[in-house]
Structure 1
């Protein structure tokens, strides 16, 4: 990682709880997949007491020296009694081996963590699995661990510090983006809106495939009496007050797969401009109705972020896909995008498909099968030879109007 891109902060959250945050602006593709020009932050938390310290998660692999330097600002490494592993993905557990070797703590986590850690890091550690609902008392503070599977791996857990009503949620309630602020309620205006977009995009990219587990886990936490005043995720800004209430409502909505009413997203791929002429017809139709439509186009001069596409598609009510046949198949980029939509966004959305071809059409049928077999409602397919969009104008408009039925 570029030294010029390294920055970390240590912030005191309560009388004995600290945030260790690394601001990563050098990672361009989160998980090697999702474009994040906005960067990302890794949050670790340290609870201190007369009995020693508990470290909740660490940072990404490769940041060991920086993490230990930040941690030494708070405690002597020999005083670290426990490490809590909420989730084994290496952006959270990447410094586990280094810290175990320096401090020799007891490692707490889901029963699956032990074998994963030994495999990932060849680490020998004093591991203690925690059951769902198990608690520990540390310097008179009760901390309860809850299993929250598929948010977003099966071994994910959360920690609840009861007296402060603090919930440490790991990936849940996280976001992309690098901010100087610690709390979301310290933002306002465009900065706050930008944070909300990063949070939705992050949810769609990372948790989207498991969205139905969000409600299951939230309902379980409520049934166990977990009513946090503070939510501390492992990425992004921390939540309290109005932003916490808002994000909790959004997570319930996203977890139920609820779309934004009336939101239509058009995604198109165009090699030589023929598809763009079709898109112009659709744009003019919506403009004539004074209705907004979000359009994302992949052309020979424009390559939008696919992570943005999935973020926008997640809560769309209607999706219009416009592409072409390529090598007697669906255009590869559209095939990739459509596959991600079927996996990462809620089923049941209405989809209109428009496809073009040079000498033989294949794309329309392939797209229709891809979407319909995964539970999306394909309202129709219009397919024609490139350059004949005006002859098919009425059919194109009719297809778009069928999204309203």
Structure 2
């Protein structure tokens, strides 16, 4: 198991007559893609299909656990009996054990035409590769696999597999979620657990897929037009879906893909160096409380900060967003610039936004924020900018700005 660290928790489950789940629970990765804080952890889901004429492996795990993956695979099938390795997506959390599996089993690798070059580049490997077309069917004994190209969910080479005889859609990143669970199926969660799980699913969607949200609808509609109506959805991360939970997840995905906000929800994002902006936060809190409107607050201060990944998730379906920032060196506070830029990239445009900026000796941050947000397609309803400590005399301006949201 060269290259493996401490032994992680691995689950092997039989899902149907011929489908098995190989799941690794990753509690070590703190920043998914080196970007997104995930204290809740993440799972890597690989699937194995056993048939009369051999086995098919669908994706693998992150490379550091390649040895563990092969050991878990042997609990289901001899790797030498693996006829096909299906690569739904080349990101290394899906393909990390590819080199080791190919070295041991020498399967035919199936994937999008773009995948071959990525394998050669990422892993210095030229496997037996067969590109699959959009809608192409591959038969292995008594099993039919139908491949569908689903670009930008979330790389251009992403595909899904429909195992017709099992009614199972192996959906890669789509319908995935962050989190580590004892359960296998989402319907094993109670209502409170399901509500929390939907947060993890939305967080995954917003941070990983959000930039390409319009492709969600395109790809779901394409699958539907081809008669793909799965009774099981098997994603690469998170819990597996069936029954009413499957239908609910599809409905939420379509809503997120269409960029539909949660009605009445406002997000306040702020940076405060010495407490002056936090006084403004209290004004904003009081206003929304007096109106009975929902306000989510995300702050970055000298005493603490929220996880950016959670802020992106909250911003994704907010109906409106208020940015309150300090000025730093005659510019927007650097952290606010970063947070606002990521929100602008990941969140559907057109949201109503408002900017409140304070300064010590010269104002400029408000104008910079307004330009940044307008260029990203947001509807900036107004900017209020004033000297630090003067929130009292500017209270009416702040309230007037909030009333425009």
User: Which TM-score band applies after superposition, normalised by the shorter structure?
Assistant: over 0.9
Structure-to-structure mapping, 1:154-233, within 5 angstroms: 154-233=156-235
In the alignment, which residue of structure 1 is the partner of 2:320? 318
In the alignment, which residue of structure 2 is the partner of 1:127? 129
Structure-to-structure mapping, 1:252-401, within 5 angstroms: 252-401=254-403
Deviation at 1:187, TM superposition (A): 0.3
Cα deviation 1:121-164 (Å, max 9, x = unaligned): 00120000000000011122211000000000000000001122
In the alignment, which residue of structure 2 is the partner of 1:86? 88
How many angstroms apart in 1 are the aligned matches of 2:8 and 2:331?
Answer: 44
The 8 Å contact of residues 5 and 24 in structure 1, kept in 2 or not, is answered as: no
How many angstroms apart in 2 are the aligned matches of 1:64 and 1:255?
Answer: 34
How many angstroms apart in 1 are the aligned matches of 2:38 and 2:94?
Answer: 18
The 8 Å contact of residues 145 and 162 in structure 2, kept in 1 or not, is answered as: yes
How many angstroms apart in 1 are the aligned matches of 2:39 and 2:227?
Answer: 39
Cα deviation 1:292-329 (Å, max 9, x = unaligned): 21111111111110000000000000000000210111
- The size of the alignment, in residue pairs, is 403
How many angstroms apart in 1 are the aligned matches of 2:84 and 2:355?
Answer: 54
Q: Secondary structure at the match of 1:330?
A: coil
In the alignment, which residue of structure 2 is the partner of 1:41? 43
Q: Cα distance 1:308–1:2, how it changes in 2: closer, same or farther (>3 A)?
A: farther
Q: Secondary structure at the match of 1:8?
A: strand
Cα deviation 1:257-316 (Å, max 9, x = unaligned): 110111101010000000000111111111222322111111111111000000000000
Q: 1:234 aligns with which of 236, 254, 279?
A: 236
Q: Secondary structure at the match of 1:317?
A: strand
TM-score normalised over the length of structure 2: 0.98
Higher alpha-carbon deviation: 196-205 or 181-190: 181-190
Unaligned runs of 5+ residues in structure 1 are none
How many angstroms apart in 2 are the aligned matches of 1:178 and 1:2?
Answer: 20
Q: Secondary structure at the match of 2:318?
A: coil
Deviation at 1:3, TM superposition (A): 5.0
Q: 1:111 aligns with which of 85, 110, 113?
A: 113
The 8 Å contact of residues 60 and 90 in structure 1, kept in 2 or not, is answered as: yes
Unaligned runs of 5+ residues in structure 2 are none
The 8 Å contact of residues 28 and 37 in structure 1, kept in 2 or not, is answered as: yes
Deviation at 1:16, TM superposition (A): 1.1
Cα deviation 1:10-65 (Å, max 9, x = unaligned): 00000111000000000000000000000000000000012110000000111111
The 8 Å contact of residues 11 and 19 in structure 1, kept in 2 or not, is answered as: yes
Deviation at 1:5, TM superposition (A): 6.4
In the alignment, which residue of structure 1 is the partner of 2:140? 138
How many angstroms apart in 2 are the aligned matches of 1:147 and 1:181?
Answer: 30
Cα deviation 1:335-360 (Å, max 9, x = unaligned): 00110111101001000100000111
